[in-house]
Amino acid sequence: MLKNVAAVLLDGVHPFELGVVCEVFGLDRSDEGLPVYDFAVVSAEGRALSTHVPGFTVSTPYGLERLEEADLIAVPASDRHVTRDCPPELLDALRRAVDRGARVLSVCSGVFVLGAAGLLDGRHCAAHWRHAEILARRFPRAIVEPDVLYVDADPVITSAGTAAGIDACLHIVRREQGPEVANKIARRMVVPPHRDGGQAQYIERPLPRSQCDTVGEVLAWMERHLDEEVTVEQLAARAHMSPRTFARRFQQETGTTPYRWILRQRVLLAQRLLEATDETMDTIAWRTGFGTAAALRHQFVRSLGTTPQAYRRTFRGPEAA
């Protein structure tokens, strides 16, 4: 049973990510019949810590010894996590906690602390999409999932950037105290108890550009004609190449196949139309080359993990959907 929770901080902590953990686990909601956690903010580097907001500091009387009794240890994001080493005493404390059966949770870049402690080895983990590549390079034994909001690889729970920490915290409550408790806390916070989809819908992916001009003109033509069905043979003819040579050059210069390239650009165009227009799903499907609303929905879910309607509600509000 989850009763004792500690949030452990390093210098340069991000107040929002710390606030997420405090909001879910640190408030007394016993007046609504909700559980009250024995919660503490713990410093890994002295009693007073800076944050990444100028002039905003955090002080606490608790040191690393407080982690020894915690059922859950949360590591909020810090500027330090990505660029500097972590105190060995903190890493030892995290390893001991897992060995005795406690859970550990990272919010955003806090995942680098868990990696430094060796807790990501052989485990799937979430990371903010901006940190995913460097995390994978630094900890090659970790299985990084850059497109999800959080991963529960019990006893290690990792979440992506900022608000994904809310999703992970509510997931832990749901798992430990049940959906009714999680839903009540979410209602108090005025957030959904569970969000569909993943990070993919929040990542800006610019159109890939070729490093040379072999297929550059064809790419520009393809961008202007996403609503048309084209074959590799037709594209190769525009590039004055054989289909086999064109396919090989295209792969070399874009890192993908013509079919996958067109598919990704169609999804990107659909995203822009859902965000910026009130056009119907049928119209968007026609303009993006998917043909039908059903085909648009199928490819949208495959690419982004959410439906076009849910995406429009997220980025334009419920009235737009």
Total structural domains within the chain: 2
Q: In which band, very low, low, confident or very high, does the pLDDT at 90 lie, cut at 50, 70 and 90? A: very high
Please check whether residues 227 and 110 belong to one and the same domain. Answer: no
Q: How far apart are CA 248 and CA 127, in angstroms?
A: 33
Please check whether residues 143 and 250 belong to one and the same domain. Answer: no
The helix/strand/coil state of 157 is strand
205 is a domain residue = no
Q: How far apart are CA 7 and CA 74, in angstroms?
A: 5
Give the residue from 256, 269, 208, 258 showing the smallest Cα distance to 231: 258
**Residue 316, domain extent:** 216-320
208 is a domain residue = no
Please check whether residues 301 and 172 belong to one and the same domain. Answer: no
Please check whether residues 184 and 106 belong to one and the same domain. Answer: yes
210 is a domain residue = no
Q: Mind listing the pLDDT tens digit for each residue in 296-313? A: 999 999 888 889 998 888
Please check whether residues 168 and 225 belong to one and the same domain. Answer: no
37 is a domain residue = yes
Q: Which whole-number Å values give the CA distances from 269 to 50, 220, 256, 263, 296, in the listed order? A: 42, 14, 18, 10, 11
Looking at residue 219, its pLDDT comes to 86
Contact in structure between 185 and 150 (CB atoms under 8 Å): no
Q: Mind listing the pLDDT tens digit for each residue in 146-200? A: 888 899 999 999 999 888 999 999 999 988 998 889 888 988 888 877 666 666 6
- Report the mean per-residue pLDDT for the chain: 88
207 is a domain residue = no
Rounded to the nearest 10 degrees, the angle between the axes of helix 15-25 and helix 164-177 is 20
Phi, psi of 50 (to 5 degrees): -85, 165
Residue scoring higher pLDDT (99 or 146): 99
Mean pLDDT highest for which of 73-87, 184-198, 230-244?
Answer: 230-244
In this structure, the number of other CB atoms found within 10 A of the CB of residue 121 comes to 12
Looking at residue 140, its pLDDT comes to 95
Average pLDDT, stretch 233-240?
A: 91
Please check whether residues 106 and 41 belong to one and the same domain. Answer: yes
76 is a domain residue = yes
Please check whether residues 67 and 103 belong to one and the same domain. Answer: yes
209 is a domain residue = no
Q: Tell me the two tokens of residue 9.
A: 């901080």
Q: How far apart are CA 274 and CA 287, in angstroms?
A: 12
pLDDT at 208 over 60: no
Please check whether residues 277 and 311 belong to one and the same domain. Answer: yes
Q: How far apart are CA 108 and CA 14, in angstroms?
A: 10
Looking at residue 163, its pLDDT comes to 85
CATH number at residue 296: 1.10.10.60
Beta-bridge mates of residue 32: none
Residue scoring higher pLDDT (14 or 255): 14
Please check whether residues 68 and 163 belong to one and the same domain. Answer: yes
Please check whether residues 112 and 224 belong to one and the same domain. Answer: no
pLDDT at 210 over 50: no
Q: Tell me the two tokens of residue 8.
A: 């452990």
Q: What is the pTM of this model?
A: 0.67
Which run of H or E residues covers position 295? Answer: helix 293-304
pLDDT at 124 over 80: yes
pLDDT at 277 over 70: yes
Please check whether residues 128 and 186 belong to one and the same domain. Answer: yes
206 is a domain residue = no
Q: Mind listing the pLDDT tens digit for each residue in 26-43? A: 999 999 999 999 999 999
Looking at residue 280, its pLDDT comes to 94
